[in-house]
């Protein structure tokens, strides 16, 4: 039985092909940023308030018009069928049950329309978002956007930190370049000729620039979040180019190695956008206390990547459900211990940087 987020990883490692474990756990180059993300949360301290009790705690959020029952999103992760036969269908059912927003990856192994249908069939009002890599061929990009809109997705997350694919040296060493036979990137199968749905059909765009964001603003009315903006100057540019939000992310340390932990960047990015757009943070979130720290410092929500893959591998829909329940319980518990009756009570004074080094 899994009692912490970390337990899912241990269970999944027992089940999965070690090559796939490396694909999920790994990062770019020396994986310095992978480790930094989690470590940053451990370095901050919580300083709780007492005697401000409340019998129940409100965990609901509304983010760019999407309502959710918890401030933890499922960040986009590719290839769910690699770890569990039903793939993204199992994940979205669990997200819907928890009332959590799932961001479907453009590199999903179930088409976004089918993921959305599975979510709707649960009768939950949980929202589905779609993650996009802008393709050099803008017609294909537009077709993908249209597909997300038709599926009923309520926001687009455009990943901008991947002009080229990050150097996952574990994957190189393992020779992991393709999906196993039978698995495809289903959003792409009928959009491009050639190797239908092959991972190679997801093109990275080294030529991507701000004009592409302006172009995208013109082809959709959905809220657009940029994922992977790290420099405060880029955060200001994002606002100027009409981004509706930022997903502050270093891709879980899978793109440029040695960039700072996202938590460390949060104050600078918040200062740069000055309250004009919401910031969601991902990278290293593993505990309810992590969620509270990020929200107390000013993030509107957080995202989780690897934990979802581990939980899916361990127990399919049931595994992801349990993962989200665990995180929700930890979050609720942490709020109570901090004297908070809801997310609105999370203020920066609850978080401290240690005043002295032991």
Give the residues lining the site for ligand FNR (CB under 6 A).
24, 37, 75-78, 105, 107, 131, 159, 227, 249, 251-252, 254, 282-285, 304-306, 309
Q: Which is nearer to ligand FNR, 11 or 309 (CB)?
A: 309
Do 12 and 80 form a contact (C-beta atoms < 8 A)? no
Query: What residue number has its CB nearest to ligand FNR?
Result: 305
Q: Which is nearer to ligand FNR, 147 or 254 (CB)?
A: 254
Distance between CA 133 and CA 76 in Å, rounded?
Answer: 11
Residue 294 beta carbon to ligand FNR: minimum distance, rounded to whole angstroms: 12
How far CA 206 is from CA of 137, 160, 203, 278, in Å, comes to 13, 10, 9, 27
> Which distant-in-sequence residues (6+ apart) come within 8 Å of 251 by Cβ?
159, 161, 162, 166, 228
Q: Which is nearer to ligand FNR, 78 or 243 (CB)?
A: 78
Q: Which is nearer to ligand FNR, 28 or 340 (CB)?
A: 28
DSSP code string of 211-232? HHHHHHHHH--S-EEEE---SH
356 backbone dihedrals φ, ψ, rounded to 5°: -145, 155
What is the sign, positive or negative, of the torsion defined by CA atoms of 198, 156, 26, 5? negative
Residue 38 beta carbon to ligand FNR: minimum distance, rounded to whole angstroms: 7
**Which region, left, alpha or beta, applies to residue 77 given φ > 0 means left and ψ of -120 to 50 means alpha?**
beta
Residue 350 beta carbon to ligand FNR: minimum distance, rounded to whole angstroms: 22
Distance between CA 152 and CA 116 in Å, rounded?
Answer: 7
- Which residue from 272, 270, 294 is spatially nearest to 281, judged by alpha carbons? 294
Distance between CA 190 and CA 200 in Å, rounded?
Answer: 14
Mark whether 3 is an active-site residue: no
157 backbone dihedrals φ, ψ, rounded to 5°: -115, 110
Residue 272 beta carbon to ligand FNR: minimum distance, rounded to whole angstroms: 20
Q: Which is nearer to ligand FNR, 223 or 305 (CB)?
A: 305
Q: Which is nearer to ligand FNR, 116 or 340 (CB)?
A: 116
Question: How many other β-carbons are positioned within 10 Å of the β-carbon of residue 341?
Answer: 15
Residue 128, classified by CB atoms within 10 Å of its CB into exposed (0-12), middle (13-18) or buried (19+), is buried
Residue 87 beta carbon to ligand FNR: minimum distance, rounded to whole angstroms: 13
Helix ranges, 129-185 (H): 138-151, 169-174
Out of 20, 80, 212, 251, pick the active-site residue: 251
Q: Which is nearer to ligand FNR, 34 or 96 (CB)?
A: 34
Give catalytic residues, as residue numbers: 251
């Amino acid at each position: 039985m899994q009692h912490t987020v970390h337990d899912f990883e241990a269970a999944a490692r027992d089940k999965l092909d070690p090559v796939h474990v490396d694909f999920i756990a790994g990062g770019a180059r020396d994986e310095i940023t992978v480790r930094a993300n989690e470590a940053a949360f451990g370095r901050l301290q919580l300083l709780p308030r007492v005697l401000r009790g409340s019998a129940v705690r409100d965990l609901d959020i509304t983010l760019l018009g999407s309502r959710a029952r918890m401030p933890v999103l499922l960040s986009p992760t590719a290839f769910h069928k690699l770890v569990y036969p039903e793939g993204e269908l199992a994940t979205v059912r669990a997200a819907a049950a928890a009332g959590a927003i799932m961001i479907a990856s453009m590199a999903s192994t179930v088409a976004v329309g089918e993921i959305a249908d599975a979510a709707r069939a649960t009768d939950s009002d949980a929202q589905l978002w779609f993650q996009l890599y802008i393709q050099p061929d803008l017609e294909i990009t537009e077709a993908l956007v249209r597909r997300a809109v038709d599926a009923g997705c309520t926001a687009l997350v455009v990943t901008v930190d991947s002009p080229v694919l990050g150097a996952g040296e574990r994957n190189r060493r393992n020779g992991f370049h393709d999906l196993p036979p039978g698995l495809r990137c289903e959003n792409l199968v009928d959009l491009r000729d050639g190797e239908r749905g092959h991972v190679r059909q997801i093109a990275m765009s080294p030529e991507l620039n701000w004009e592409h964001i302006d172009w995208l603003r013109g082809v959709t009315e959905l809220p657009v979040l940029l994922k992977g903006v790290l420099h405060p100057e880029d955060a200001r540019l994002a606002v100027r180019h009409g981004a509706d939000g930022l997903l502050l992310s270093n891709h879980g340390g899978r793109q440029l190695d040695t960039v700072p932990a996202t938590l460390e960047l949060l104050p600078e990015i918040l200062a740069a956008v000055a309250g004009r757009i919401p910031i969601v943070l991902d990278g290293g979130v593993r505990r309810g206390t992590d969620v509270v720290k990020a929200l107390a410092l000013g993030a509107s929500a957080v995202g989780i990547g690897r934990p979802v893959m581990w939980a899916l591998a361990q127990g399919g829909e049931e595994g992801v459900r349990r993962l989200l329940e665990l995180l929700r319980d930890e979050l609720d518990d942490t709020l109570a211990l901090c004297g908070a009756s809801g997310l609105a009570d999370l203020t920066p004074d609850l978080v401290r940087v240690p005043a002295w080094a032991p």
